[in-house]
Amino acid sequence: MNDKLVIFDTTLRDGEQSPGAAMTKDEKIRIARQLERLGVDVIEAGFAAASPGDAEAIKSIASIIKGSTVCSLARANERDVRAAGEAIRPAASGRIHTFIATSPIHMEKKLRMTPDQVVEAAVKAVKMALEYTDDVEFSAEDAVRSEMDFLCRVFDEVIKAGAKTLNVPDTVGYSIPVLWGERMRQLIERVPSSDQVIWSTHCHNDLGMAVANSLAAVMNGARQVECTINGLGERAGNASLEEVVMAVKTRRDVFTCDSRIDTTQIVPSSRLVSQITGYPVQPNKAIVGANAFSHESGIHQDGVLKHRETYEIMRAEDVGWSHNKLTLGKLSGRNAFRTRLHELGIIMESEEALNVTFARFKELADKKREIFDEDLHALVAVEGGVDTCDRLKLVSLKVCSETGETPHAFVVLSDGGTEISADEFGGGPVDASFRAIEKRVESGATLLLYSVNNITTGTDAQGEVTVRLSRNGRIVNGQGADTDIVIASAKAYLNALNKLFGAEERAHPQV
Ligand code: KIV
Ligand code: ZN
């Protein structure tokens, strides 16, 4: 009998710390429902003390999700722990994840605390968290650069205080597999009562080794891996959930544990997170990249046709590639539309929102014969963002673009219900459209990133555009989708502006 490997997904917390990946409550709920369907054991739904909006989103997720434990992060202080405790109160199974840094550099320069004070704060936070739930996790931030003796002391004390999961983070992505595995082995060997708790690993990908390090920790006794869909996360990201899960499953000859993940939900989860955050998945990304199962070279194709296992170690359908199915068409009715949304975990907040989205679906079905699940997600992501500020809306856009002429855009917007219009020239049709919008809105935002991807295949596919804007240190991603990529671009630009105008002040847990 294999041990159970706990999969702790932090897409909604560490993943959300990626630049511009901040999500609305509605978007977080959609991802949480998909993570539950995927079979994730613990969903870290956010950092409750970041803002009232963050606390509210965690609370909503806690009241909806029944099949996974819902967790909130908390620094080791009273305000954070109480905010986390309140946020997870409605959960069928709730966890508080409290942390404090234990490395000399973090204790001295960031916390300005002595090692004794750090131990005291850790113990106090764990005890306080136990007032809300008996499922308390403790993390020693920057464990990778912490002194081993001190790390053992902190972990010993928090076990005595009642922590059930001990997480060992490589916060800065500095380790390499042989050292990370050894660190886990030594901790389990040296910390008293280490067999009474679950040891966890949380690795960042700064040197491209987050997954390898996580697996090395598992081989040395860790039984929880903290990871994110598509490896989203701070800087170079976190360990990618799909890679960890499939490595453990595919190499059963090496690992003595396994997760309860429904691997056929991996690709749908990847698509959803990418669509909502605007972070595209690189084509050669393991498991979920568009090329992960395509065999370009003739020799490989021949081999795969004769016998699949000549070049394939996993089956595309086992990770959900065949789930990309045709769902609805032009003749589909409102009920079929609502039912499919429901099956995808998308619950519209009101009949009015459903009607608006259904009308958009009909418009799309007129332009595009076949509607896939991805199209529906894009439709809802763009049209159904009920809790984003939607001050600006695109009323119409006309762009003149021809060889030898400077592109010229004419845009009509609704600004809080009042129609405004502008025209402007630009280097290309997208540039002209953005300039026309800026001429009236005067946001002063800087464009950091512009990217277009096709949602499905074919020239009638919807283009999915991401626009990343920054203003006064705040970074947001806006998304837009349309069969016309210039219109999709204008929608993405307005979506980003709405997010900039609506964003509330939020605290970062690690700064
Ligand atoms: O990377 C890290 O150390 C973290 C902690 C908050 C667990 O994300
Ligand atoms: Zn982290």
Residue 344 has pLDDT above 50, yes or no: yes
SS3 content of the chain, % helix, strand, coil (to 5): 45, 20, 35
Ligand 1 contacts CB of residue 80 (under 6 A): no
Residue 241 has pLDDT above 80, yes or no: yes
Euclidean distance between CA atoms 200 and 203, whole angstroms: 10
List the beta bridge partners of residue 415. 392, 418
Ligand 1 contacts CB of residue 202 (under 6 A): yes
The band of 325, judged by pLDDT with boundaries at 50, 70 and 90, is low
The band of 373, judged by pLDDT with boundaries at 50, 70 and 90, is confident
Euclidean distance between CA atoms 264 and 309, whole angstroms: 19
CB 420 within 8 A of CB 436: no
What's the start-to-end Cα distance of the chain, in Å? 43
Q: Which atom of ligand 1 is nearest to the CA of 99?
A: 6
Highest mean pLDDT among 41-50, 339-348, 349-358: 41-50
Task: Quote the tokens at residue 344.
Answer: 């995808």
d(CA 89, ligand 1 centre) in Å: 23
Q: Which atom of ligand 1 is nearest to the CA of 169?
A: 3
Euclidean distance between CA atoms 209 and 10, whole angstroms: 18
Name the 3-class secondary structure at 102: coil
CB 448 within 8 A of CB 468: yes
Euclidean distance between CA atoms 73 and 42, whole angstroms: 12
Task: Please name each of the domains of the chain with its CATH number.
Answer: 6-277 (3.20.20.70), 292-320 (no CATH), 326-383 (no CATH), 392-501 (3.30.160.270)
Neighbours of 184 (CB within 10 A): 24
CB 392 within 8 A of CB 375: no
- What's the mean pLDDT in 323-341? 78
CB 27 within 8 A of CB 270: no
Euclidean distance between CA atoms 20 and 474, whole angstroms: 8
> Pick from 280, 219, 215: which is nearest to 227 by CA?
215
Task: Quote the tokens at residue 273.
Answer: 């997170």
d(CA 503, ligand 2 centre) in Å: 23
| pLDDT given at position 296 | 56
| pLDDT given at position 389 | 67
- What's the mean pLDDT in 268-288? 92
| pLDDT given at position 385 | 45
Residue 292 has pLDDT above 50, yes or no: yes
Tell me the pLDDT of the chain averaged across its residues. 92
Ligand 1 contacts CB of residue 14 (under 6 A): yes
- Report pLDDT digits (tens) over 462-511: 899 999 999 988 899 998 999 999 999 999 999 999 999 987 778 899 88
- Report pLDDT digits (tens) over 95-125: 999 999 999 999 999 999 999 999 999 999 9
- What's the mean pLDDT in 327-354? 82
List the beta bridge partners of residue 425. 408
DSSP character at residue 175 = -
Residue 453 has pLDDT above 80, yes or no: yes
Lowest mean pLDDT among 74-78, 326-330, 429-433: 326-330
d(CA 169, ligand 1 centre) in Å: 6
| pLDDT given at position 386 | 39
Residue 208 has pLDDT above 90, yes or no: yes
For the question of whether the overall pTM of this predicted structure is more than 0.85, the answer is yes
d(CA 510, ligand 2 centre) in Å: 9
Which residue type does 259 have? S
Highest mean pLDDT among 22-31, 76-85, 382-391: 76-85
Name the 3-class secondary structure at 119: helix
Ligand 1 contacts CB of residue 146 (under 6 A): no
Residue 343 has pLDDT above 80, yes or no: no
| pLDDT given at position 295 | 63
Ligand 1 contacts CB of residue 47 (under 6 A): no
- What's the mean pLDDT in 257-286? 94
CB 72 within 8 A of CB 46: yes
* Strands 463-471, 446-454: pairing kind: antiparallel
| pLDDT given at position 201 | 98
Residue 140 has pLDDT above 80, yes or no: yes
